[in-house]
Structure 1
Amino acid sequence: MDWSSFSHFLHMDGHGAYVWAAYGMCALLLVIELFGLRNRRAKAAQRLTREARALRSTREI
């Protein structure tokens, strides 16, 4: 498509609100997913650390 100005590009012949809302929603969901993955990874690391400590303490007895 050929836009004569940046404003026309943002407006996208009347579809701009839908298009930019969809891009925004995708970006938001990706950020939420990344934070969730980071949180799950940290919890898994903590769980593995606890299990390793428990295993070492049972071997020492």
Structure 2
Amino acid sequence: MWNSPAEFFAMGGYALYVWSSFGVCALILLLEPLTIRARFKAIVRRLKQEQLAEQFDKESGK
């Protein structure tokens, strides 16, 4: 296939397309868990606020 590492990394003239595709894929694979974790924390925070507001309404309504 390739006679040298330079030929491998050049990918037959398609290196920019190939390596940028790998880079974008790697970036997405790294960012996805981070964004999911942030959304999860925001949802939990919102649910806790709603629960506290409900408790406050029940206590103040007595």
TM-score by length of 2: 0.73
Q: Which residue of 1 aligns with 2:57?
A: 58
Q: How many residues align?
A: 60
Q: SS of the residue aligned with 2:3? A: coil
Which structure 1 segments of 5+ residues have no match?
none
The root-mean-square deviation of aligned C-alpha atoms, in Å, is 1.7
Larger Rg: 2
| Shift of residue 59, structure 1, vs aligned partner | 2.5
Work out the CA distance in 2 between the residues paired with 1:56 and 1:5: 69
Which structure 2 segments of 5+ residues have no match?
none
Work out the CA distance in 1 between the residues paired with 2:50 and 2:4: 60
Write out per-residue CA displacement over residues 2-59 of structure 1, whole angstroms, 9 at most, x where no aligned residue: 2222222111111112100111112223333332222211110100111111122223
